[in-house]
Amino acid sequence: MKKNVLERVTELRSRAMRSSDDKETFSLNNELSKLLSGINVAIEAYPELRANENVLHLQTTLNEVEEQISASRRAYNSSVMVYNNAIEMFPSNIIANYFKFSKDEFFKIDESEKTAPNVSNLFKK
């Protein structure tokens, strides 16, 4: 694997953890997910790596991380839905209006996320 891909993953993870802006965090997490998926796809192109025990462990770990990210996104969206509903329902809307609470945005997945990543440029044979 190329060193710069792993450095990029580390950089994105650090920036996402430091970010206080939801939109920036979502963007960084999307980019991180694409890179992690790309690592998995690129490994499939190397038959000698697929048989390696460490690579098999890496693939399993990456799949677990992707599942955890997906579960976290669902939990976040569920919390946002409950919060947004509370802002609109009586009597909690009175308090929300008084303190100027505003609706949060749902986490949305880009259409490009729904397709397989193109990783031909990430790794070269």
Does the pTM surpass 0.85? The reply is no
Q: Tokens representing 47?
A: 């038959």
In the prediction, which pLDDT does 118 show?
A: 47
In a domain, 66, yes or no: yes
Q: Which residue has the higher pLDDT, 60 or 92?
A: 92
* Amino acid in position 97: N
* Amino acid in position 11: E
pLDDT per residue as tens digits for the range 85-120 = 999 999 999 999 999 999 988 877 766 555 544 444
In a domain, 113, yes or no: no
In a domain, 124, yes or no: no
In a domain, 27, yes or no: yes
Say if residues 103 and 77 touch (Cβ distance below 8 Å).
Answer: no
Q: Which residue has the higher pLDDT, 104 or 46?
A: 104
In a domain, 55, yes or no: yes
Select from 30, 40, 32, 33 the least CA-distant residue to 10: 32
Range of the domain at 37: 3-103
% of the chain surpassing 90 pLDDT: 23
In a domain, 60, yes or no: yes
Total tally of structural domains belonging to the chain: 1
In a domain, 120, yes or no: no
